[in-house]
Amino acid sequence: MSNNHELYKVFYWAAKTGSLSKAAKAVYLTQPSVSHAIKQLEDSFGISLFHRTAKGVTLTQEGAILYSYIEQSQVLITLAEEKMAALKNLDSGELRIGGSDSLFKHYLLPYLEEFHLKYPGIKLHLNHGTTPEVMAFLKEGRIDLGVVRLPIVDPQLKVRESIKLQDCFVAGARYAELKGEVLSLEKLLEHPIILFSRNSRARMAITELFQSYGRTIKPEIEVGSVDLLIEFARKGLGISYVSREFVSQELEDGSLFEIQLDVQLPPTHVGILTMRSTPLSQAASRFIELVG
């Protein structure tokens, strides 16, 4: 029996409407084609499924049993088709994003707000983690995309480069005497340094940079969020290493100032990670387009 689904669909509409002509209209076939499909189904089972009457068709006892099963499947198929249409139109579904607290707050927040306004039916799930954790989330299928600092080299992941960040050292009023001075790395290390946790991409980058100049940077304070880096520097607990873009307000209002160094700190880029082997959902594709 070829294409069982189409035969069952014809059977369903004939049973539901009690009319071969109405079934033909429902499935966009001619009435003879409907009659032939039902005969095929009956021949395949070796039993009669309908009683033919002058007013139409009624189910036999065996036909009624078959209908009880087919009805459930047709309802599920209809629901599935409606769900697919809703997902295509972004009326429903979910978007799962992995990233650090700082990138969510200082980079993604405006895009998340715009996306939510455009597609309120899409549920947003934010999974917080370090770069290695975000990469693991992707490979485990726990998120649709990740937002991390680059560079990332992994053959399983597709990397889309996004904004550029410029990291810098900042301090508060307690270190006002350093304002306007140009410090060497050696002079900088005479002061207490506050860094992000060891497994962060920013921490790895600054550690490698100092090593390239033959210096070792050892923080007096390690913190787990950019907000604490900013607040600790404001309170005078040390000199923090943070992205300039994340402290623009504090630099503008004067609660923090940038420490000038005699070496250039290289910029870093933010990247959007996805799995090469996994097709993107409509929601994920649209969000990436939005971020650009």
| Phi-psi label, residue 46: left if phi above 0, alpha if psi -120 to 50, beta otherwise | left
Q: How far apart are CA 131 and CA 201, in angstroms?
A: 7
Beta-carbon contacts of residue 146 (< 8 Å; ≥ 6 apart): 97, 98, 99, 134, 135, 137, 138, 272, 273, 274
Positions of CATH 1.10.10.10 in the chain: 4-88
Q: Quote the distance between the C-alpha of residue 99 and its chain's center.
A: 10
Q: Assign domain 167-266 to its CATH superfamily.
A: Periplasmic binding protein-like II (3.40.190.10)
Positions of CATH 3.40.190.10 in the chain: 94-164+270-291, 167-266
Q: What's the average pLDDT block by block, 10 residues per block, for the chain (292 residues)?
A: 77 95 94 94 94 93 94 84 78 92 92 96 93 93 94 94 95 95 96 89 90 95 92 97 95 97 93 93 93 87
- pTM attached to this predicted model: 0.67
DSSP string covering 34-48: HHHHHHHHHHHHTS-
In CATH, the number for domain 94-164+270-291 is 3.40.190.10
- Confidence (pLDDT) at 2: 46
The secondary structure of residue 223, as a DSSP letter, is E
- Confidence (pLDDT) at 113: 96
Q: How far apart are CA 149 and CA 184, in angstroms?
A: 26
- Confidence (pLDDT) at 76: 85
Q: Are 170 and 233 in contact (CB under 8 A)?
A: yes
Is 4-88 a domain of CATH 1.10.10.10? Answer: yes
Q: How far apart are CA 200 and CA 220, in angstroms?
A: 17
Give the chain's count of helices (H) and strands (E).
12, 14
- Confidence (pLDDT) at 252: 96
| Phi-psi label, residue 254: left if phi above 0, alpha if psi -120 to 50, beta otherwise | left
The secondary structure of residue 173, as a DSSP letter, is G
Q: Are 13 and 27 in contact (CB under 8 A)?
A: yes
